[in-house]
Amino acid sequence: ATPRSTARELVLEALERYGLAPEEGTSGEYVLCDVVGRPGGAGGAWQVEHLRAVGDSERPLVLQDVWKPKAGCSRRFEIRRRQEVEREGEAGEVGGEDQPP
């Protein structure tokens, strides 16, 4: 990844690297998410405080330099199924099982 890499490029590269490259026409099935949270859930699980789907043309490394999480939190980028992220957003959930609604 470089500062010029877009979220879409990084998703496609990761899917290809792990042998999960989507079929033609389904490349939009996955989305890069900017996830802010902290360890400390049950069994040391990651507790999500904020999750946002990164726009396909956004540049994650630039985003990382521009905006820092609050003290005590850290950021990670995750690849998730777009449909699941949209469903969580509609339900008002932030992080699935690790985070209460």
- How many domains does the chain fold into? 1
Q: Is the pLDDT of residue 82 over 60?
A: yes
String of DSSP letters for 20-58: -PPPTT-GGGEEEEEEEEEE-SGGG-EEEEEEEEPPTT-
- Considering just the CA atoms, what is the radius of gyration of the chain in Å? 14
Domain harbouring 81, CATH code: 3.10.20.90
| 98 domain residue, yes or no | no
Torsion sign, CA atoms 34, 40, 42, 43: positive
pLDDT digits (tens, 9 = 90+) for 27-71: 678 999 999 999 887 787 889 999 999 999 999 999 998 888 989
- Segment 77-100 shows an average pLDDT of 73
| Domain encompassing residue 35 | 7-92
Q: Which amino acid is at 52?
A: R
| 2 domain residue, yes or no | no
| 16 domain residue, yes or no | yes
| 1 domain residue, yes or no | no
Distance from the Cα of residue 74 to its chain's centroid: 13
